[in-house]
Amino acid sequence: MADKGSKVPVGVLSAVVILGSIATVFLINNFGEVGFGTSWPVLLMAAGLCLSFAGYFELGFAILGFFLLILLANLTIIPPFGKSWPFALIWIAILVVAGYMRSKSSSKKAA
């Protein structure tokens, strides 16, 4: 969780990220070749990033990574999600290791 004395105002930063991603998605929809039906995962990726700012690192990055895979599949950069879902398992494994390492380092600090 974020500290009360944190120097970064998490609420303001989260609002900027979410509003910026909404504006970006609609600007791309209006002026680009990619429509909202393809780029909607960007909004949920922004929510995952905001969760990371608030101190929920593993959850935030899990959401961000999952919807990044969906976005890449929508943009046909990677195969459709039905074929590329193992990337999600790899991402989850990385986050499990990162969470374990964070918990191990925080327990050393507490001791």
41 contact partners, CB below 8 Å, separation of at least 6: 67, 68, 70, 71, 74
| 69 in any annotated domain | yes
Query: Domain for residue 102, yes or no?
Result: yes
Q: Which residues of the chain have pLDDT under 50?
A: 1
pTM to 2 decimal places: 0.76
Domain around 48: 10-110
In the block, which residue shows the tokens 């899990």? 62
Tell me the C-alpha distance between 64 and 48, whole Å: 5
pLDDT at 6: 59
Task: Give the angle 79-32-67 at the CA atoms, nearest 5°.
Answer: 40
Write down the pLDDT at residue 12: 86
The total of structural domains in the chain comes to 1
Compute CA 38 distance to the chain's CA centroid, rounded to the nearest angstrom.
17
Q: What's the pLDDT at 8? A: 64
pLDDT score for 3: 53
User: What proportion of the chain, given as a percentage, has pLDDT over 90?
Assistant: 23
- The answer as to whether 2 is a domain residue is no
